[in-house]
Structure 1
Amino acid sequence: VFEYSEADTPEELFYPTYDLSDFSWDSINRTLNHTALTAQFTGVPATDPSGSFSNGSVAFRVTAYEAGGRDRPLPSLLHTANSSKVEFVLAGAAPRGNGSRFALEVATVEETGVVQKLRSARSIDDEYTPTIFEMLSLVAESQNDSATLSFLQWKATAYGSRSPRREDSIQCRSRGLQAANWTLPVSSIVHAYFGEGIGSTYTVSAINISFGGEDGKVYQEKRYLSWSALLGFGQPPKDTFSPLVISIMAVALGTPMAMLLVGSCVVLFAQRKRYSEYEPIN
């Protein structure tokens, strides 16, 4: 997790990084819910010289799904049975600057021969996520047949409340996907899962996702940040126009056409009636 400031400086000022591998994490057994299919990993720095996390924590909430549907809480992501939601939560941590903003570095591990692409899709339909019109997807495709193998999908927004509303929206930006130029800790879960093939059999890439407005005041005021993403296999879900938006578009486009048609009929009828008042001379 990065913290940086753009206030009153010509360049971005980065503070010492919060390395999550140095955090102390609570046992997952305390938050594992077999009924709701949820779990939460909560951690704090093992050492905190600045005291920024004296009342704060970082958490990752994971939700699995048994069937397709849509989340109720914003950003109301559309999901399938082959996907899970991962939510990054930064709560209570004190900013180290007046205009601090935060960024999360997301690392991805793929087999050799798999190409990763960052896609952006825009839509005029914001019924489920008000004022947010952009959806981003990081997809892994096979070089042989361009088939989508897996994806990470998110809306271009985060929220500054435990019960998010439209006014709690926090601007979210994504930097380009790049090859990771750092080495993973030997004790990391990636090494435990993939073995010693990291760097030869598997490639590691990273993308930075930043949160906050131009002045970073949103987090300073609420001391809470939540960002959700969907992680799954196969093609990422695609939103279609909702019945409400289709109805609004039909009314907006159909009303002028109906008025034009009625007006044309009235003019033609008036002209025909005018000519019918004259009788032929012969």
Structure 2
Amino acid sequence: MSKVPANEDFYKVHLLNEWSWKLTTPLDAQPHTIDGNHIFEVIFEGNNTDTVCANDGHVELKFAISAMEQRNPRMPRLKFVRGLSTQFEFAMASLHTNFIRGRFGLQLLFVSNESVIPGEDFRLESLFSINDEVTPGIFEMVNIKLGERDNSTTSTLKSHSNTPQSSWPTGFIQARPVCYTSERYREVKASRDAKLSKQRTVLNTSDQELLLPRTLPYLFYAQRIKPTDDPHEVVGMRLQNISFGTPGDGYYAHSSFIVWTISFGFGEPPIDTLSPLLIGLITLSAVVVLGSLLFGTMLILIFQRRYRFGEFQRLTETDTTSAVST
């Protein structure tokens, strides 16, 4: 996370890399292989000696992976890409804030193997659907495509091999704009907004040198993660801010708990399709509407026909046999 000036009175940054972390997943519960629809999870719990954790407060990080394409049974029920995506769940429990109307946010560093030159940004798209069966009350899905750029027409990665640029795997980040204030009851009445900022900022050089060492991207990308004179040689990095809370929700102190889930992986982000139940309901609604229109049209035609016959009077026998005088 980026540093905040020392005289800042409106918010305070807690660097999670300075906290103490422990693995809380039972070791005997970790399978050597992931078979069938089993979801493998690793859970870490962190806290520190600051006042933010004074009341047994802690932050929980949960990583989950699946060997088959399926949905996570927990809300917001994001979809796993078979062996290629990981779901990251971030929970804040019993944290203490010195502000009367305090909220907590999160700042993440997104890293891509493809460079992001100044003026470019990862592409963010919001998809809306009429289907909220998977996540009740939520009709939006946010996708960040790490292999595509906003404000750019061409990719600028210089490969260090003879491999074509298109062979580099693209990455995605997917989330629904919702968090929950209850771990057990993740439903509409316990849901709050989780907004991802539309624009991402650049991690400055001093913070790169301070925060990136001893991180997985630093070990994986080696020299490519260090600042150089050529921006095309450095991996793409952007800071993403996420805010939690809905106006009128009583702020964080009302629930003292927030849990939020995000998915990241290789390839294209999963697409939510209409379920058979929703397709059936739409079809039934269309049949009812068309049937009502057809029935109404038939009634109008019948009434018009009766009215037309009512304009003519039947001739009597005297009218048909009366003599004509000459």
Q: Give the structure-1-normalised TM-score.
A: 0.84
Aligned residues between the structures: 272
Map residues 236-255 of structure 1 onto 2, 5 A cutoff: 236-255=269-288
Q: Which amino acid aligns with 2:203?
A: A
Distance 1:147 1:189, change over 3 A: closer
Alpha-carbon offset, residue 260 of structure 1 = 1.8
Which position in structure 1 is the counterpart of 2:134?
128
- The one of 266, 274, 288 equivalent to 1:233 is 266
Q: 1:243-266, CA deviations, whole angstroms, 9 ceiling, x for partnerless residues?
A: 333333334443233212112112
Which position in structure 1 is the counterpart of 2:72?
71
Which position in structure 2 is the counterpart of 1:196?
223
Q: 1:69-105, CA deviations, whole angstroms, 9 ceiling, x for partnerless residues?
A: 1122211112221212110011111122111111111
Q: Distance in 1 between matches of 2:52 and 2:190?
A: 26
Which position in structure 2 is the counterpart of 1:168?
190
Does the aligned pair in 2 maintain the 1:177–1:207 contact within 8 Å? yes
Comparing 173-182 with 146-155, greater Cα deviation is found at 146-155
Comparing 175-184 with 159-168, greater Cα deviation is found at 175-184
Map residues 103-114 of structure 1 onto 2, 5 A cutoff: 103-113=105-115
Does the aligned pair in 1 maintain the 2:47–2:58 contact within 8 Å? yes
Q: Give the structure-2-normalised TM-score.
A: 0.74
Does the aligned pair in 1 maintain the 2:43–2:63 contact within 8 Å? yes
Q: Which amino acid aligns with 1:262?
A: F
Alpha-carbon offset, residue 24 of structure 1 = 0.9
Q: Distance in 2 between matches of 1:251 and 1:95?
A: 51
Map residues 15-94 of structure 1 onto 2, 5 A cutoff: 15-27=11-23, 30=26, 33-35=29-31, 36-45=39-48, 47-48=49-50, 50=51, 52-81=53-82, 82-94=84-96
Distance 1:185 1:274, change over 3 A: closer
Q: Distance in 1 between matches of 2:193 and 2:106?
A: 13
Structure 2 residue 206 is the aligned partner of structure 1 residue 179: no
Distance 1:117 1:146, change over 3 A: farther
Does the aligned pair in 2 maintain the 1:118–1:177 contact within 8 Å? no
Distance 1:274 1:30, change over 3 A: closer
Does the aligned pair in 2 maintain the 1:40–1:61 contact within 8 Å? yes
Q: Which amino acid aligns with 2:177?
A: A
Query: What is the percent sequence identity of the aligned residues?
Result: 25
Q: Distance in 1 between matches of 2:108 and 2:278?
A: 34
- Classify the secondary structure of the residue corresponding to 1:93: coil
Structure with bigger gyration radius: 2
> Please, which runs of 5 or more residues in structure 2 have no aligned partner?
3-7, 32-38, 149-154, 156-164, 229-233, 321-326
Distance 1:101 1:192, change over 3 A: same
Q: 1:253-280, CA deviations, whole angstroms, 9 ceiling, x for partnerless residues?
A: 4323321211211222343455567599
